[in-house]
Structure formats: structure tokens, C-alpha cells
Structure 1
Amino acid sequence: MDNSETEFNLKVVLVSFKQCLTEDGEVLLDYYIASWKGLVRFLNSLGAIFSFISKDVVSKLQIMERLRNSPQREHYTSLQSMVAYEVGSKLVDMNRRSRHPDSGCRTVLRLHRALRWLQLFLERLRTSPEDARTAVLCTDSYNASLAAYHPWIVRQAVSVAFCTLPSRKVFLEVMNVGTPEQAVEMLGEALPFIGNVYDISQKLYAEHSLLDLP
């Protein structure tokens, strides 16, 4: 196992979301992408069960990195500048057969929804009793977030997959921040950083009526 693996811990990832925000509340996309890459590592460390989410996230991150490296990259510095540019340039449309399926607004919205699921799940892990079933915690979080955007066949497959999740204790140990008690304490300190980024993104998308982008 190399040093990058042994040094990984979830607190570093969650706190990295703090770097996403400027003093003015702008969400910096380079830090957002980097923070998500850390979450993907966390998901992958839990095994193939979360691959249906992590693979989709990775493909979305690749789209965002292409935009950040494109000739229009100056418009993709922050979430706010991206929304202003794409809405102003009519690169966003609300049609089911979108002419801009890889727009930054649509791509980040998919990441935003997945972030809500993770936020809810980690918060439920933090506040649940020791004997809580992670399958129930994860399913409840999924039903309150991502499920609304997935077809029935995917929802069924996901609910079956969640039944094989490891115990709460294993989840807390995989965070690599010490004992389960220390992991719970860490989540209480660090989860608000994800919450702040999520809330600002949610408000921005709501203001531009983009929350239901197909």
C-alpha cells in the first residue's frame, strides 16, 4: 500500500470542501472537482457496491475538467461564473432532448444531487446508534435524494445492493480517522463544510430555475 492510500482520511476530504468557497460565497470549480475526487476514493474504498454512483461521478468530473481546460475556461472558474456564462449564452435548455447534454450546469447538477445523498448518508451514520443497519441508513438517504432522478429499474437494483453494505463500525473505520467515536466526532466537525457548498449551490440553481434540468 503506497503512502497516498495510507494517508487518505475522510476528514481531509470533507474539510477540502471549505476551500471551495471564497469569502464572497463563490464556489471555485477546481476545488469542487478535487474535493469530489476525494469522495470517489472513499466510495471506491467501500467496494464495488457504490460503483454505480462513483462511475457516474467520475464521468461528470471528466466533463468538468474538459471545460476547465477549454478555450472558454475563464467562464468556468466558479459555479457562479459558469451559470452566468451558460445561461447568458443559451447553453442550457430545459428540453428532455437537450442540445447541450454536457453543459456545465447540467453536469454539476448531477454532482450536486449525488453530494446531497452522501451528505444525508454520512449525517445519518453520525447520529445513528451503534447497532443501526447501514442498509436502512443508506436507503433512506437515497430515497430522500437521488432516487427521485433514477428510473424504477435502477432504484430496485440499488435497494438490493444496499442490503450487502458493511456494518456501521466498518464504515466509520474506513474513514481512517481513528476509533468509531473519533469518526463520529469528525463528521460533526467536517460535514458542515459540505453543507455550506451544497446550500449555496442549491440557492444559485433555484434562482436560475435550473434545479430540474433534464
Structure 2
Amino acid sequence: MALLLEHEFPELLAGQEVSTARFLDSVQHIPPFFDCLGSTVFMPIKSDVSGNIEKLRAVYLTDPVRLCTLRELVTHERDAASAAGSEWPRSGATLALMWLKRGLRFIQTLLQSLVDGVRDERHPDHMTVNATLAYGASLRRYHGWLVQKVFSAAVHGAPYRSDFLRALSKGAAVPEALCLEQVALFLRHFTPHVDAIYSLYDELGAELDYTA
């Protein structure tokens, strides 16, 4: 689990706002996760996650003091859009963070399903069931028919469980039980960040339901 634990997310206490700087410092190390999935069909998600991180960073750097939390960043864009009579939240960092959180939910659901022992008992080393669960919980509803077909093929090409866990460990032969313990350690701080961003969007009415 060296790939993820090397850059663990900071602890996020209940009710604590997500620091933009600390979030960006942690999330910038997430894109290589998608390399562990093997199939090149997952590369568009990696590219989308990387691009949205950079869009978020670019807006943050325009005023790091004012935009010190993700809430401040999103509400600042909302207020600026309202004053200018422009549409919100279909642009800027708000839109980038909206899509970024979906990519992060994909990762979180996939990893949590492994920790929870979700598997196809007929093919216990296959990860199709885990990838399908993660896609359905995060991105499927926002993808049109053609994109869904592409990702349906991708999830059926998900790596073997053993190969995936080895990739997370950067090729080291880590026992599965130990690797899953490390996955759980990563999720203890990662999941609250993802949940907090989803809650923020629900609270502010910033969620959009269109398909890409």
C-alpha cells in the first residue's frame, strides 16, 4: 500500500472544514492509482481527475488566503457568479471539484469493497464485481449510453485482485491481509474528505445531474 499511504490524507474531524491547500497536497498523488487498474480504458478517469486537480489549484492560487477552505472557494465562486449574473455552478473550480469528487468516490468505493470482502465467490481473484460497484456508485449515472458501454468493457477487464494489491504495494510481495489493513488505514482519512465534499455540494445546491 506504499502507493497511497506515502501521501496519506490528514485527519478530518467531524464538522471541520476541508483545507484547500492540504487537500491539494494530498489529492495530487491520487492519479497514479488508476495505473494499478491496468486497463487503458481507465485512463480517461485518470486524465479527468488530474485535469480537475489542476483547475482547482489554479483557482486557489489566485487568492490562497481567501480561498483557504473548499467551502470558501465554492461559495466565493457562487457569490461572484451571482453578482455578475452568470451561471453557477457550471464552470470554474466548482465544476472541477464536482467531477473530482466523483472520481474520488470511485476510488473510495472500490477500496472499501475490497476491505469489506466483496468478491465473486466463483472467481474470487477477479475484481469485476468491485469495479462495477464502484462505477455504479460514482460515475455511471453521469455518463451517457456510449460512455457507459466503454466502461462496462473496462470493468470486465479489471485486474486480478492479487495483481492489483501488488501494484498498490509497488510490486512488493505484501500478504493480502496486511495490504488490506493498509488500505483500511488509508480510507480512515480519505473517506471523510470525500464525504465532506459531497455534503458541501448537497448543502449548497451545487450538484449537477447532467450526463457527459
Indicate whether the TM-score tops 0.5.
yes
The worse-fitting range, judged by mean Cα deviation, of 44-53 and 131-140 is: 44-53
**How many pairs does the alignment contain?**
201
Matched, 1:201 2:197: yes
Q: What 5-or-longer segments of structure 2 have no aligned partner?
A: none
- Could you list the structure 1 runs, at least 4 aligned residues long, displaced by more than 6 angstroms after superposition: none
Q: Which amino acid aligns with 1:76?
A: L
Residue matched to 1:25: 16
Alignment of 1:97-136 (within 5 A): 101-128=90-117, 129=119, 131-136=124-129
Alignment of 1:162-173 (within 5 A): 162-173=155-166
Q: Which amino acid aligns with 1:12?
A: E
> Identity rate of aligned residues, in percent?
23
Deviation string, structure 1 residues 48-69 (Cα, Å, up to 9, x no partner): 2320100011111121121122
- Pair 1:151–1:91, CA change in 2 (3 A): farther
Return the offset for 1:171: 1.1
Q: Which amino acid aligns with 1:141?
A: A
The alignment's TM-score, normalised by the length of structure 1, stands at 0.82
- What is the alpha-carbon distance in structure 1 between the residues aligned to residue 81 and residue 209 of structure 2? 13
Matched, 1:9 2:9: no
Output the aligned Cα RMSD.
2.7
Residue matched to 2:149: 156
Give the SS at the match of 1:210.
coil
Give the SS at the match of 2:159.
coil
Q: Which amino acid aligns with 1:55?
A: S
Deviation string, structure 1 residues 119-150 (Cα, Å, up to 9, x no partner): 11111122225815212210121012210111
Residue matched to 2:79: 88
Residue 17 of structure 1 contacts residue 35 of structure 1 at CA under 8 Å; is this kept in 2? yes
- Pair 1:124–1:132, CA change in 2 (3 A): farther
Q: 1 or 2, which has the higher helix percentage?
A: 1
Residue matched to 1:34: 25
Q: Which amino acid aligns with 2:66?
A: H
- What is the alpha-carbon distance in structure 2 between the residues aligned to residue 213 and residue 18 of structure 1? 30
Residue matched to 1:78: 69
Return the offset for 1:24: 5.8
Deviation string, structure 1 residues 89-140 (Cα, Å, up to 9, x no partner): 22699x9xx5774421111111111111111111112222581521221012
- What is the alpha-carbon distance in structure 1 between the residues aligned to residue 32 and residue 82 of structure 2? 31
- What is the alpha-carbon distance in structure 1 between the residues aligned to residue 64 and residue 101 of structure 2? 20
- What is the alpha-carbon distance in structure 2 between the residues aligned to residue 213 and residue 32 of structure 1? 25
Return the offset for 1:11: 2.1
- What is the alpha-carbon distance in structure 2 between the residues aligned to residue 44 and residue 87 of structure 1? 35
Give the SS at the match of 1:18.
coil
